Structure 1
Amino acid sequence: MNEDVKPNSLQAWILAARPKTLTAASIPVMIGCALAEAHGHFQATPAILCFLFAFLMQIDANFINDLYDFLKGSDREDRLGPERACAQGWITPQNMKKGILLTTALAALCGLCLLYYSGWEMIPVGIACLVFAYLYTTLAYHGWGDILVLVFFGFVPVGCTYYVMAHTWNGSVTIASLACGLVIDTLLMVNNFRDREQDAISGKRTLVVRFGAKTGLIVYFLLGLTACWLCFYFVGQGKLWASILPELYLLIHILTTVRMARIGKGKALNAILGETSRNMFFFGILLSAGLLL
């Protein structure tokens, strides 16, 4: 156990929440808000509630993943990724369960507040988000992680953020949702690429485990490329900047892909994880700015 982190301290909970992953929660909501503003529907209060809901659900999923992998015995000494709270003894499993209940309750409260702006039809979506947080880790072991990311970090947060304010859906929302989900999936792909040997031992059947490291590297690159090319759709919607600006992301995405290929394996890939998080946040800013211009 890292002696610098006191068990069940505030620092321990912050580390367990994995704040670096919260960019994945903020990007879809940011794009959804930009779409709403571009179509004259933006509202500040529901936007804030959407951000809070997204952050809480991301933290909830992180807590659940931390606890599940600890109980399953997946966080072994050969772990390459960032340290986990339960495995390091920073937070006891009992307290982690309490933390999960608290974040779940707070997320549900934000969801209930959003019903005032959206309508009762959003209840099934909120329930699906909660189910996703609890089942994501289990389903990821069976190779469903990439699909779930596309849905719950693309279509659900982008589309629902827009819907809460506009009460409608259109082609721009669909394309932006898909592009967002693809970009965020690059983060999952780096994780799976780095952990491929450990995942194979643990029985986690990710795409990289099934088809190999080379396939993972190619898919990583294609995810970013496809997201950028999808943005050319906005030319037909009179949003030229929403097509041009996201292409700047492709430059750094290519550089990161090359570095990822050179490193190949080991803990050094954690640097690629950080770059990927930065890159996808850059994409979110570029697409949002393009929609607003």
Structure 2
Amino acid sequence: MSDVDVSRRRAWLMAARPHTLPAGISPVVVGVGIAYALGVFAALPALAALVGALLIQIGANFANDYYDAINGADTEEREGFTRVTQSGMIEAAEVKRAMYLTFLAAMVVGLYLVYVGGLTIVVVGLASIAAGIAYTGGPFPFGYHGLGDVFVFLFFGVIAVVGTVYVQAAAYAPALPLAPPAGTLPTAAFVASVGVACISTAILVVNNLRDIETDRRTGKYTLAVRIGYTWSRVEYVALLVVAYLVPCWFVANGFGVATLLPWLSLPLAASVARTVCRHDDADHLDPALTRTGQTLALYSVLFAVGVAL
């Protein structure tokens, strides 16, 4: 096996950005916990939701790598994790093809979820794929216009958690419903989604905080570029505060004190927040990006276990 082959496999792994995958897995984990607590857990829809979420996450990562390169947002001055298109490790056309193939695979998985959840899943699935492309591609890439935080909050938080609960609950109703069956969109799912959405968005905040200077020079006006270092840090801390307040709603609504288990991840969250508030260089913020992802993963597992108990 040659070094070239190893290098190429590593390049594709870098393009998939495994450090971002907690943002795809965590909403499904929380959605499974909520479904179990409400007595509507269904293994096969949950598994399909997980695979679909990961495929959309990876497809969005390919899209981001490709469009940032061709739009000139990725340059040699950019700090942080290597982008394979900009660096020339993989041809742009190959990355674009991989993006479309990955989204196609997500659609194939989605066919089963459409059978379970009906028209609602068609709308949500197509919107998720379109948003993954439009984040950095298309005539109005909203990641370049300060809307990336909203995108992550909605699609990797609210929609992902609620959608996971929905397909499990819908499995107990007649197949191919034209509208969500009664009881398939519980309030608890929406509230739980806010915690995941906040920490998922915090991951993006760290990424954009690190890239403020290079993004500004290349015309990529993320929210961090628009509001600056201080307010980006305020946003980061506020997102964490809201996430850790979410379990209180579950205690107040009879789910039991076990739903406070996510608080066990607070020391990690506080440690990362200190780093984010004190530093703006890649040497500190790249590890903070990874550790925010770890915070999300730990928070989500603890949340799922706590609410299920």
Does TM-score exceed 0.5, indicating one fold?
Answer: yes
CA 1:244–1:119: 2 relative to 1, 3 Å = same
Q: Indicate if the aligned counterparts of 1:242 and 1:288 stay in contact, CA closer than 8 A.
A: no
For 2:122, the aligned partner's letter is: I
Match of 1:22 in 2: 21
Asked if 1:185 is matched to 2:201, the reply is yes
Among residues 137, 140, 149, which one is paired with 1:146 in the alignment?
149
Q: What is residue 229 of structure 1 aligned with on the other side?
A: 245
Report the 3-state secondary structure (helix = DSSP H, G, I; strand = E; otherwise coil) of the residue aligned with 1:239.
coil
**Deviation of residue 144 (structure 1)?**
0.4
Q: Report the Cα distance in structure 1 between the residues aligned to 2:22 and 2:101, rounded to whole angstroms.
A: 21
**Residues 163-198 of structure 1 deviation map (CA, whole Å, 9 limit, x = unaligned):** 111131121111111111011111000001111111
For 2:133, the aligned partner's letter is Y
Deviation at 1:242, TM superposition (A): 4.9
Distance 2:273 2:61 in 1: 26
Q: Could you state the TM-score of these two structures normalised by the residue count of structure 1?
A: 0.94
Letter in 1 for 2:279: I
What is the Cα deviation at residue 125 of structure 1? 0.9
- How has the CA–CA distance of structure 1 residues 101 and 7 changed in structure 2, closer, same or farther, with 3 Å as cutoff? farther
CA RMSD of aligned residues (A): 1.7
Is 1:239 aligned to residue 287 of structure 2?
no
Residue 21 of structure 2 aligns to a residue in which SS? helix
1:213 matched residue in structure 2 = 229
SS at structure 2 position matched to 1:156:
helix
Check whether the contact 1:183–1:227 (CA below 8 A) recurs between aligned residues.
yes
How far did 1:248 drift?
A: 2.4
- For structure 2, which runs of at least 5 residues remain unmatched after alignment? 171-183
| Matched pairs, number | 291
Q: Structure 2: how far apart are the matches of 1:268 and 1:255?
A: 12
Preserved contact between residue 104 and residue 130 of structure 1 (Cα < 8 Å):
yes
Q: Supply the distance in 1 between the matched residues of 2:285 and 2:66 (Cα, whole angstroms).
A: 24
- Between the aligned residues of both structures, percent identity stands at 36
| Aligned twin of 2:56 | 57
Superposition pairs for residues 1-293 of structure 1, below 5 Å?
9-137=8-136, 138-167=141-170, 168-293=184-309
Distance 1:207 1:249 in 2: 27
Residue pair 2:199, 2:292 contacting (<8 A) in 1 also = no
Shift of 1:8: 8.4
How far residue 285 of structure 1 moved from its aligned partner, in angstroms, is 1.0
Q: Deviations over 1:238-290 (max 9, x none)?
A: 22235421222333212211122232334331111111111111111111111
Give the Cα separation in 2 of the matches to 1:98 and 1:133. Answer: 15
Structure 1: gaps spanning 5 or more residues: none
How far does the alpha carbon of each residue in 1:84-103 deviate from its partner, in whole angstroms, 9 at most, with x for none? 11122221011112211210
Aligned partners of 2:213 and 2:305: how far apart in 1? 40
| Closer, same or farther: CA 242–131 of 1 in aligned 2, 3 Å | farther
- Distance, in Å, in 2 between the alignment partners of 1:213 and 1:223 is 15
Deviation at 1:206, TM superposition (A): 2.0
Once residues 82 and 132 of structure 1 are traced to their aligned partners in structure 2, the CA distance between those partners, rounded to angstroms, is 23
